[in-house]
Each structure stands twice: as C-alpha cells, then as structure tokens.
Amino acid sequence: MAGNRINRINEEIQKELSSLFRGLKDPRVQGGMVTVTHVDTTTDLRYAKVFVSVLDKEQEKDVIKGLKSASGYLRRELGAALRLRYTPELQFTADDSIEQGAHILAMLRDPNVVKPANPANETIDSEEND
C-alpha cells in the first residue's frame, strides 16, 4: 500500500516539476531542453531524487547547476501544489538511461557483436513468401 502511494507522489512531483521548469528564468536551464525522466522519493518523503535528461549533453552540467540553485524555489512551489506534510528536498541528477538504451540497441544491431540465433536463416527473402 505504501509503495503505491509513493509511486503516485513520484508521478505528481514529476508532472509539477516539468511544468515549473518552463517558468524558470535561469539562463542555464532555459538554454537546453530539459526533461524529468524519473523521480525517486524516499518513504519518509524527506528527499526526492529527480532524474533529468538534457537534449544537449554539453549543457548538462550547467543545467544541473541551474536546477540546484533553483531548488528552493522549486521546492516551495511544489509544496504549495501538492500539499504534503513534508515537501521533499530535491536532489537533481543527470539521467543517462536514454544514451545507454541507444548504445545497447546499436550493439544489438551490430552483427560483429551479436551473432544471429540461427545462422541458416540470417536473412529472410520476402519474395520467396509471395
């Protein structure tokens, strides 16, 4: 039961932060396209680890610094929107899961890395099936 509540709170925090990011006036955050990919809140609701993905990886460190400097404002606005007993302290970290997924997909498509399961049927000729 408690895990389900935490999941709902995580989703609400993710939605609110996504909308709040658009209103930030920090040029470090406005410069890059920032997406909240996942939120992980502790069970006592004291801390929330916010995973963000930045479109331009060169700006990633600046965006994280900008978000950390705006964390007080974001926490206050989040507390007003969610009305929880405790508003979690926000900890921003870069999320590289999209890059990892693209790397794994590239490896799976590389015939030198992954051998076909049945070498006799490497390619299927669609003309034979007609």
* Domain covering 2-96, topology: GMP Synthetase; Chain A, domain 3 (3.30.300)
CA distance 80 to 76: 6
Q: What is the pLDDT of residue 123?
A: 58
Q: What is the pLDDT of residue 68?
A: 92
Q: Is pLDDT at 110 greater than 60 in this prediction?
A: yes
- Reported as a single tens digit per residue, the pLDDT across 46-98 is 999 999 988 888 888 888 999 999 999 999 999 999 888 888 999 999 988 77
**What are the residue ranges spanned by the domains of the chain?**
2-96
Q: How far is CA 42 from CA 4, 7, 18, 69, in A?
A: 13, 11, 20, 22
- Overall average pLDDT of the 32-49 stretch: 89
